[in-house]
């Protein structure tokens, strides 16, 4: 940890620590952290975010489920899982 330097702006780490990770890394700075990720990981994270937004939007459009609907879905999933070999 002697190579790490603490400055007024934050922490500076040596570039040798991230060399050898392969593809170019994307570096983002959060409130209390630095995020290092590969382009593939960034694309995957963005895809997941889009899927979650679509799911939330669809759930809003459908409206709240009744307890009977929830029980029916749970029963259907349990039945499907019980039939697996």
Report the 3 state secondary structure along the chain. Answer: CCCCEECCCCEECCHHHCCCCCCCCEEEECCCCEEEECHHHHHHHHHHHHHHHHHHHHHHHHCCCCHHHHHHHHHHHHHHHHCCC
pLDDT at 11: 74
pTM of the complete model: 0.52
Q: Mind listing the pLDDT tens digit of every residue in the chain (85 residues)? A: 577 777 777 777 777 777 777 777 777 777 777 788 888 888 999 999 999 999 999 989 988 889 999 999 999 999 988 887 6
CA distances in angstroms from 46 to 18, 23, 29, 41, 54, listed in the order given: 22, 18, 17, 9, 12
The C-alpha atoms of residue 6 and residue 56 are separated, in whole angstroms, by 41
């Amino acid at each position: 940890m002697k190579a790490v330097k603490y400055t007024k702006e934050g922490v500076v780490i040596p570039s040798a620590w991230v060399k050898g990770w392969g593809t170019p890394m994307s570096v983002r700075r959060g409130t209390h952290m630095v995020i290092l990720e590969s382009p593939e990981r960034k694309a995957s994270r963005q895809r997941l975010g889009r899927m979650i937004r679509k799911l939330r939007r669809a759930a809003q459009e459908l409206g709240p489920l009744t307890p009977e609907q929830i029980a029916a879905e749970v029963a259907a999933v349990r039945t499907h899982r019980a039939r697996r070999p």
